[in-house]
């Protein structure tokens, strides 16, 4: 089994290799390939869209199956289960209030749930007590400290503002290049303009 994440960022050459692997139905050791992508970043102009269209046409001739699953955001119950797993807690009621707040801030996006809890730990809003051998937090303090932000995206932006100035500047250049960009292009832009601005 091969799992590829963030396929919406893949270039046409990488997708071509995946196409070859999928179409190799005569291989004595067949593969199951799982590809993940964000539907909101997937358009008809993308290389991924073209690749999926080609694979749909080839599947009966090449004898392989394509199954598409669309995953929704988590609900509060599932968000709580992730938090329980992250904090190694077995009792749902212990993390329920934290999960309710987390769900309001992340809207159930699994990546943001994990980032939110990580950020709370980094900010000292969730701490591990060695004496009691358990995680401690105060939901009202977390709510107060995160009240000025609508959601976890704002919280992540606040974290990024704490990065060194040069790192923030590099991220700005990368953002101007778009979601997918080549490192060599970023390197050229950084060498030319990063030194001038710094």
pLDDT in tens, 108-140: 988 889 988 998 998 899 999 999 889 999 999
Query: Tokens 């809003």 identify what position?
Result: 125
| Tokens (6 digits) for 151 | 């959601």
Residue 55 gets the label, from left (phi > 0), alpha (psi -120 to 50) or beta, of alpha
Question: Cα dihedral angle (135, 139, 142, 147), rounded to 10 degrees?
Answer: 160
pLDDT in tens, 60-97: 888 888 888 888 889 999 999 999 999 999 999 999 99
Lowest mean pLDDT among 53-57, 81-85, 185-189: 185-189
What is the end-to-end Cα distance of the chain in Å, rounded?
A: 46
| pLDDT of the residue at 30 | 78
The length of the chain in residues reads 198
Q: Could you tell me if 173 and 193 are in contact, meaning their C-beta atoms sit under 8 angstroms apart?
A: yes
pLDDT in tens, 151-170: 566 667 777 788 888 888 87
Lowest mean pLDDT among 45-59, 69-83, 88-102, 181-195: 181-195
Q: Could you tell me if 46 and 8 are in contact, meaning their C-beta atoms sit under 8 angstroms apart?
A: yes
Half-sphere exposure (Cβ direction) of 180: Cα atoms closer than 13 Å: 13
């Amino acid at each position: 089994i091969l799992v590829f994440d963030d396929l919406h960022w893949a270039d046409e050459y990488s997708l071509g290799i995946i196409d070859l692997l999928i179409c190799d139905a005569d291989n004595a050791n067949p593969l199951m390939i799982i590809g993940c992508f964000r539907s909101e970043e997937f358009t008809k102009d993308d290389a991924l869209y073209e690749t999926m269209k080609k694979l749909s046409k080839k599947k009966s001739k090449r004898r392989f199956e394509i199954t598409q699953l669309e995953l929704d955001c988590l609900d509060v119950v599932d968000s709580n289960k992730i938090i329980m797993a992250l904090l190694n807690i077995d009792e749902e009621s212990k993390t329920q209030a934290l999960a309710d707040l987390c769900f309001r801030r992340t809207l159930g996006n699994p990546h943001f749930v994990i980032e939110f809890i990580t950020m709370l730990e980094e900010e000292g809003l969730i701490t591990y007590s060695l004496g009691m051998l358990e995680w401690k937090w105060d939901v009202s303090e977390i709510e107060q400290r995160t009240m000025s932000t609508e959601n976890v995206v704002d919280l992540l932006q606040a974290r990024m503002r704490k990065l060194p100035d040069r790192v923030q500047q590099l991220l700005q250049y990368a953002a101007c290049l778009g979601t997918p960009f080549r490192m060599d292009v970023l390197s050229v832009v950084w060498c030319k303009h990063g030194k001038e601005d710094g």
